[in-house]
Structures are given as structure tokens and as C-alpha cells.
Structure 1
Amino acid sequence: MTHPTRRDAESETAAASQTVRAAEAVEAVKETSFITAVIRAMENDRPDAYLSDPHAALLSTPRSRRMADEALAAGGTTGSVIVRARFGDEELRRGIAEGITQVVCLAAGSDTRAWRLGLPPAIRFFEIDLPGQLEAKEALLGPVEDRLACHRVSLGADLRDGTWPERLRAAGHDRAARTVWIVEGLLPYVRIEQFTRLVAHVRESSAPGSTLLVDAPHTEFYADPANARFLAFMESRGSAFRLGLDDLGGFLGRHGWQADAYTLRQLSAGACAGFPPPPARLCPPHDHHWVARARLA
């Protein structure tokens, strides 16, 4: 009979600790999506609101409000959350006006577009996020269930698992039809190799003419001393920011997409034709973030 050695026990303990830390990190990232709902609710209540999201308040629970207060007190900004949401709204409407009838929202978290944009029944709106996340959102949005007119399909899946594209197809996604893909607020928490795989999966699941909407921190976000306290706070709560890109448009271009990418300050200066420039209050100098729209030729 072989008896376990001390080294075996230590290895098992280390593996168990690593599993616990990974699970805690996943939960911390899941919680962050409801922090962004609080920020959207705050913006919606302003008389000069740049973003309309009347349902975000339903996702603003006492716990998420407390977490949002802590993040903002640590130097977090609201601009990137609000601007990327408005950018996504405008581009999604454009895609639907061009005849696209499929939407896939990856890491859908607290996204409320399926409820608030008045999308018609012909639109199939797929949402993917970690197991339990979408069910929690659905429960909180119960009071506005009647506002959901499009055909929404929810799928609990880990985007780090390469099986999600097949599960999406099994749920009814048609790879031969154009799709608007939304990847909002996810990239700070992934590594570059994970983002590369994600973009490859999206491309393989897309018909020509599909659109990808994505945002990411600029590398300067990490170098700016004004963000040091916020970055330390996010790391302390288990949801460390990881990814930064100095050229999001160039990255997407190298992976098969025709992309237009803008920093918040470029958008504020009117660099994106047809997009309402965000006010300066949402584009402070230290909020270095990209938003991009890309099309598959």
C-alpha cells in the first residue's frame, strides 16, 4: 500500500488554496458588474444625463451601492462605464437599422439593453455570463419583465472555456447570419492571450458584415499615478485590472477585423462622426480608455 507523503499533502493543500482563490476572484468580478449598474443608475438620474438606463436602479442593491461608493472613494471614475454604454447603444441601433437581427452580449453581467432599447421581437438577443450571474439579474429586473420584447436567450458559461461557441450555436445562434457582438467591461480582468482567443472565437462564429463592439483600458491607465490608488483597491478585493492596450484598433486589425478605435478624449473632441461627443466631466485626463467598433469583411 502506498501512503501519502508530506509533499503530497502540501501539494494537495496548495492546489486547494489555488482553487479557492480562483473561485473568489470569479465572484469578485461577478460583483463588479453590479457596481457598473450603480454608476449607470447615478448617471440616469442626472438632469443632464448622457446615458438613459432607467432599469439600472433595479440592479442597484445596498451591497452594490456600498461597493460602488468604495470604488469611487478609491479614485475610480464613471466616465468609461457611461461612455462605452452609450457607444454600444448607438452602434447596436445602427446595426439593427442595417438589418442585423442577432445580438450576442458576452459577459453580459448587468447589461439591460434587451429590456430598455425597445428591440423588436425579430431580434434574437443572446446573453452569456458566468453561471448564476444572469439569473440574479433576471430576478432583480422582474418588475420590468414586460419591457422585454425581443427574443432573449441566456446562457451560463465561462468565456475562458472554449466550448461556449458550440453551446451558443446549440442555443440557436446562426453563424451564417450577421451578428452584433458586445464585449463591454470584460477586458480589464483578462490576460492578452485570453482576449486573443476570445476574438478568434468571435471571428469563427461570425458571418461577413458582423460587428464587434469592445472597450479596454489604455496602457496609460496603469502608468498614470492618478489611478494607483484605484488599481490597488481593485487588486485588494480580488478583481485586479490586468489588460491594457496601446492600440486597440491595431490589435483588432491584426486579428481580421476592420476597426475604428477611440479614446474617451478623442470622442469628447468629436473624433467619431455621428456619435454624440460625451461631456468633459465624463472624460477626465486620467481615465485612459478605448472604445472600438469593428466589422468583419
Structure 2
Amino acid sequence: MTDTDRQDTASEAVKETGFITAVIRAIENDRPDPYLVDRHAELLSTPRSRAMADEALAAGGTVGSVIVRGRFGDIALARSVADGITQVVCLAAGGDTRAWRLGLPARTTFFEVDLPGQLAAKEALLDPVRDRPSCRRIGLSADLRHDTWPGELHSAGHDPHAPTVWIVEGLLPYLRLDHFTQLIARIREMSASGSVLLVDAPHADYFTDPANESFLAFMESRGSAFRLGLDDFGGFLRRHGWQAEAYTLHALAEGACPWLPTPPARLCPPRDHHWLARARLG
């Protein structure tokens, strides 16, 4: 397989996973005791995405990292906007529905960046609620592994001299560590003092836990090696210039984050080794 073929396969895996996570959010929303409320996720729950989600969960995939990071990001984003940040950039936006469901202020510009075709597919599925975004939303088609997206984002109106909330969720498993490191460094270069980074990553223990072998094999069969994790995510972010608070799901289940409602044990099973982080500049 050529490098181009590998990139194409990885791109399709990223696209499909975007809507798998929407299915997981829709399932959570329908619970009598949802930890995350996302009434728009059901619109992204197509027969294909539901079938893929069923397959992923049957292979041993867990829902906690999706649901807890969703609530974590919702609260952190709302706090940042309340503090006066007026621009948000969601990278690898996939099935993210925050621009539709969070009631962000009209002064907020919400940029979404994803692979060609992904945002158009989402917009078509969300057409029944096309009037819901209260903020200004701008979608950009770009591959984050290439160097052109920062210029395209700037041309679309992003101001690197004003603080930004950056959302980078569920992306690390589809990138090599050097690409992820370059991405974090590039975000740092494009961020003014006061910017906030919301980002997650698998813990290194995820890949040595025998309970996850079936799911890892499933992910590899779909074009994602999903073999990269970090022992100290907070340290990684601090080495790249961010003031970071990072939590494992297990720590969150014990109430480690003072501003996040403690997630239930069902969302933090022992085998779901995952990091969630909020980082700041300045």
C-alpha cells in the first residue's frame, strides 16, 4: 500500500468515526439519566453510522471517552465564551453539534475544519435545524496533515491576535505522534494570550490492557492503527507552551476536576484509559 493509499484509508476512517460518535451521543441522550444532552445527535444517526457504531461497540469500544469529553468540552467552552472569547475553532469537527445546540452568543464565530465532504454531509443531515445556530458558523474543508489549513483559516476570518478556543477531540488515534506534535505547535503559533485548548488523547495504558485487544484489532482493520498513547498528557502540553490541567477518566470518576460534574462509573470503566485536558496560554 502506498503512502497515498494509507492516507486515503485513514481519511475514510476519520470521516466514519465522526458519525459513530454522534450515534453514541444520541444513545446517551435517550437515557433517562444522560450525562451529556445532545438532542441533535439523532439527526446524524444514519443507518450506516448506527451499523458501524454497533460493530464498534460489539468489538469492545467504550462510550465513556466520547460522552465525558463532550460534557467536559461543553462546560469549558461555555466558561471561555462567558469570559469573553469570541472565536472558536473545532478541528476535525466531524459530527460535533456544539454550534447548533449550545446557544452561543451571536458575537461568537465558530469555525469548523474537517476533511472534504465531511461538513457538507453533516450540514445536510442537520438541515431540519439549520436555523438553530445562534452564533456565526464557518465551515472549512482541509486536511490537518497538510500545511495549507492555517492560511485557509486566516482567510476565512480567524484572528490570531485575539484569543481562541481550540477544540481537538478524537484526533490523536489517526495521526502519527510527530504530526500531532506539529499540530499542537501550530495551534500554539496561531494563538493569542488567553486562548484555550480543549483536547483529549488515549493513555499509553490503553494499548497494554488485554481487555482492549479486540477493539484495537477492529480499529486497525478500519484503517486506524490506534496504537499511540501518552503517559503524561499534561506534561506533553506544558512542554509545548500550554498551562495544562489533564485528567484521566478514572481520576474524573473520583471527582478530580472541580468544575466538572463527576461522571458515573458506567462511563469510566477500568479498561478505558483516556486523557481529557483543558490548557491555556498566558
Same fold at TM > 0.5: yes
Q: How far apart are the structure 1 equivalents of 2:7 and 2:105?
A: 39
SS of aligned partner of 2:244? strand
Q: Which residue of 2 aligns with 1:78?
A: 63
- TM-superposed deviation, 1:19: 2.8
Q: How far apart are the structure 1 equivalents of 2:165 and 2:227?
A: 26
Q: 1:58·1:140 contact (CA, 8 Å) conserved in 2?
A: yes
> Quick one: which of 163, 166, 174 aligns to 1:178?
163
- 2:235 equivalent to 1:250: yes
Q: Which residue of 1 aligns with 2:269?
A: 284
- TM-superposed deviation, 1:166: 1.2
- 2:45 equivalent to 1:60: yes
Q: Which residue of 2 aligns with 1:214?
A: 199
Q: How far apart are the structure 1 equivalents of 2:105 and 2:245?
A: 28
Q: How far apart are the structure 1 equivalents of 2:127 and 2:202?
A: 33
- 2:224 equivalent to 1:239: yes
- TM-superposed deviation, 1:188: 1.2
Q: How far apart are the structure 1 equivalents of 2:189 and 2:13?
A: 30
Q: How far apart are the structure 2 equivalents of 1:239 and 1:203?
A: 26
Q: How far apart are the structure 2 equivalents of 1:53 and 1:151?
A: 20
Q: Which residue of 1 aligns with 2:89?
A: 104
- The sequence identity of aligned pairs, in percent, is 72
Q: 1:191·1:242 contact (CA, 8 Å) conserved in 2?
A: no
Q: How far apart are the structure 1 equivalents of 2:136 and 2:171?
A: 24
Q: 2:237·2:243 contact (CA, 8 Å) conserved in 1?
A: yes
Q: For each residue in 1:72-108, what CA deviation from the matched residue of structure 2 results, as whole angstroms up to 9, or x when unmatched?
A: 0001100000000100000000101100000000000
User: How many correspondences in the alignment?
Assistant: 282
Q: How far apart are the structure 1 equivalents of 2:10 and 2:163?
A: 34
> Quick one: which of 148, 153, 166 aligns to 1:163?
148
Q: Which residue of 1 aligns with 2:17?
A: 32
Q: 1:267·1:278 contact (CA, 8 Å) conserved in 2?
A: yes
Report the TM-score, using the length of structure 1 for normalisation: 0.93
Q: Which residue of 2 aligns with 1:194?
A: 179
Q: 1:190·1:242 contact (CA, 8 Å) conserved in 2?
A: no
Q: 2:173·2:202 contact (CA, 8 Å) conserved in 1?
A: yes
Report the TM-score, using the length of structure 2 for normalisation: 0.98
Q: For each residue in 1:258-283, what CA deviation from the matched residue of structure 2 results, as whole angstroms up to 9, or x when unmatched?
A: 00000001111111112101000000
Runs (4 or more) in structure 1 with deviation over 3 Å come to: none
Q: Which residue of 2 aligns with 1:11?
A: none
Q: For each residue in 1:123-157, what CA deviation from the matched residue of structure 2 results, as whole angstroms up to 9, or x when unmatched?
A: 00000000110000000000011111110000000
Q: How far apart are the structure 1 equivalents of 2:243 and 2:94?
A: 27
- 2:130 equivalent to 1:125: no
Correspondence 1:256-267 to 2 at 5 A: 256-267=241-252
Q: How far apart are the structure 2 equivalents of 1:221 and 1:50?
A: 23
- 2:58 counterpart letter in structure 1: A
> Quick one: which of 115, 119, 130 aligns to 1:134?
119
Q: 1:189·1:242 contact (CA, 8 Å) conserved in 2?
A: no
> Quick one: which of 15, 18, 27 aligns to 1:42?
27
SS of aligned partner of 1:153? strand
Q: 1:104·1:181 contact (CA, 8 Å) conserved in 2?
A: yes
Q: 2:91·2:168 contact (CA, 8 Å) conserved in 1?
A: yes
Gaps of 5+ in 1: 1-13
Q: Which residue of 1 aligns with 2:139?
A: 154
Q: Which residue of 2 aligns with 1:205?
A: 190
- 1:292 counterpart letter in structure 2: A
SS of aligned partner of 2:252? helix
Provide the aligned C-alpha RMSD in A: 0.9
Q: 1:59·1:141 contact (CA, 8 Å) conserved in 2?
A: yes
